[in-house]
Amino acid sequence: MNKFFLNLGKQPLANNYSRFYKKNQNKYNLKLFFNTKNKMVSISKRIPSEKMFTNNYPYRSSMSKTMKTSFYELSIEIKKRFKPKSILEIGSNDGILVTNFNKKDVIGIEPCNNLAKITSKKGYLTYNKYWNYELAKNLKKKHGEINLIYSANTLTHISNLNDVFKSISFLLTQKGILIIEDPSLLECIKKVSYDQFYNEHIYLFSAISVSNLIKKFNLEIFDIKNLKTHGGSIRYYIKKVENRDIKISNKVKKQIENEKKFGLHKLVTYKQFAKKVKLSKKNLLNILKKIKSKNKSIIGYGATAKAVTILNYCNINKSLIKNFVDTTPEKINKFMPGKNIKIIKYTQNSLLKYDYAFLGAWNFKKEIFKKEKKLIKKKLRFITHVPWPRIIRK
Ligand code: DWN
């Protein structure tokens, strides 16, 4: 049932940035599989959540304007369209969404203590816990059923999806709304953005696989929005099947049709994707090596989890990319997981001495290009691997 299609090699924990370069850091196989029955794409090796989502988890959603705006706009939509009395967010990170609501209306769930603390300190009720049925039962006892449950870039990180949706269905009111958003498998396959796969991303969702999955829990998708965030994401609006007050938008059928047209329900599509990934690796390495042969320097821009997949799969080390810049305090002066490449604090000056910048955070290309307009005018050239490896000429 689970068919193998791509091996991305041995990969360290994607968000495990450490002060010292550890040559013998633990690495885990990153192999991708397609389930021919339920059409889900997943990785095989499951790392215990406690190992990945620690109390020093470095990723903060609020580090980009793009994401702040996206979450703010969603909060307006939620208030206007669904008018929920109670909201629960699974994986509230640093509070990027919850802080747009009244404190009395919203509950955050965040397993990483350092992040949960940020919202708690602002007076938002945040449970420093993992999402599971046990927690859902306790929440129901304490707060009653919830009108709207939301989760962005979190459910694909949880191995036991049956428990996830069982718990959601249990806690949601009969007329309740569930909104989830995650990177789109269709966009990933189209863009050959294989760096969407790392040990935290256990699954990549499609409308096909999500609708198959949630059926068992008496849930169905009633609306869909394609978003530009994170290189192309889908926001799924979900309700209980017995709630007939809400009509199912045509967009759901259209998305599923599009995905089928592209072959997301067939193994052969993933086999072709695997070939494109191998070519992408070869071409990216050729570009980097050619630049280095001309004695030009390259920095990485955005020390993303995605870049960890690229560096380790393509075996890129500091002889090709000297440093990475990033704005996240928790990443600065640490090393890219699995590699001897140090992350330095972002300042425009820190970029001045480089000729090229490899876009680790290619999903924020627009925001970054706007910020670096002057440097681009001077001499800085960006390199990306999405949708194909190239130097971006502006
Ligand atoms: O699902 C996940 C996504 C949502 O976030 C997590 N499992 C882990 C994380 O993945 P990522 O690290 O690939 O996410 P981002 O959002 O692409 O990371 C952007 C990084 O780039 C951050 O470290 C901040 C940094 N950045 C920067 O230094 N300057 C970003 C921008 C826009 C900038 O101008």
Residues of the chain with pLDDT under 70: 394
- Strands, sheet with 390-392, edge to edge from the N-terminal-most edge strand: 342-345, 323-326, 298-301, 356-359, 381-384, 390-392
Task: State which of 364, 366, 369 you would mutate to test the pocket of ligand 1, scoring each by most atoms of that ligand within 8 A of its C-beta.
Answer: 364
CA angle 113, 115, 121 (to 5 degrees): 95
Ligand 1 mean position, distance from CA 276 (Å): 24
Taking the C-alpha atoms of residue 199 and residue 21, their distance in angstroms, rounded to an integer, is 20
Q: For atom 7 of ligand 1, which residue has the closest CA?
A: 200
SS (H, E, C) the chain: CEEEEEEEEEECCCCCCECCCCCCCCCEEEEEEEECCCCCEEECCCCCHHHHCCCCCCCCHHHCHHHHHHHHHHHHHHHHHHCCCCEEEECCCCCCCHHHCCHHHEEEECCCHHHHHHHHHCCCCEECCCCCHHHHHHHHHHHCCEEEEEEECCHHHCCCHHHHHHHHHHHEEEEEEEEEEEEEHHHHHHHCCHHHCCCCCCEEECHHHHHHHHHCCCEEEEEEEEECHHHCEEEEEEEECCCCCCCCCHHHHHHHHHHHHCCCCCHHHHHHHHHHHHHHHHHHHHHHHHHHHCCCCEEEECCCHHHHHHHHHHCCCCCCCCEEEECCCCCCCCECCCCCCEEEECCHHHHHCCCEEEECCHHHHHHHHHHCHHHHHHCCEEEECCCCCEEECC
pLDDT, position 310: 98
User: Exposure of 393 by Cβ count < 10 A (0-12 exposed, 13-18 middle, 19+ buried)?
Assistant: exposed
Q: Whose CA is nearest to atom 3 of ligand 1?
A: 153
Closest residue (by CA) to atom 28 of ligand 1? 326
Q: Which of 219, 82, 87, 75 is nearest to 143 (CA)?
A: 87
CA of 304 to the centre of ligand 1 (A): 5
Does ligand 1 come within 6 angstroms of the Cβ of 156?
no
**pLDDT value at residue 24:** 87
Determine which residue's CA is closest to atom 5 belonging to ligand 1.
59
Q: Is 211 in the pocket of ligand 1 (CB under 6 A)?
A: no
Atom of ligand 1 nearest to the CA of 326: 28
> Per residue in 220-240, pLDDT tens?
999 999 999 999 999 999 999
Atom of ligand 1 nearest to the CA of 67: 16
CA 328 – ligand 1 centroid, Å: 9
Q: Count of CB atoms within 10 A of residue 162's CB?
A: 11
**Is any atom of ligand 1 closer than 6 Å to the C-beta of 62?**
no
Any atom of ligand 1 within 6 Å of the Cβ of 227 = no
- Indicate which atom in ligand 1 lies nearest the CA of residue 363: 17
CA of 175 to the centre of ligand 1 (A): 35
Q: Is the CB of 196 under 6 A from ligand 1?
A: no
Closest residue CA from atom 34 of ligand 1: 368
- Predicted pLDDT of residue 87: 98
Q: Which two tokens stand for residue 36?
A: 């021919």
Question: ∠ at Cα 211 (209, 212), nearest 5°?
Answer: 65
Q: What is the pTM of this model?
A: 0.97
Predicted local distance difference test score (pLDDT) of residue 394: 65
Inter-residue contact 341 to 308 (CB < 8 Å):
no
In this predicted model, what pLDDT tens digit does every residue of 256-315 receive, in sequence order?
999 999 999 999 999 999 999 999 999 999 999 999 999 999 999 999 999 999 999 999
Whether the ω angle into residue 387 lies within 30 degrees of 0, i.e. cis, is yes
Q: How many CB atoms lie within 10 A of CB 318?
A: 14
Distances (CA, A) of 268 to 1, 34, 185, 247, 264: 14, 10, 15, 34, 9
pLDDT at 52: 96
Cα 122 to averaged position of ligand 1 atoms, centre (Å) = 23
Give me ligand 1 centre to Cα 256, in Å.
28
Distance 112 CA to ligand 1 centre (A): 17
Hey, what are 201's tokens? Answer: 């991303």
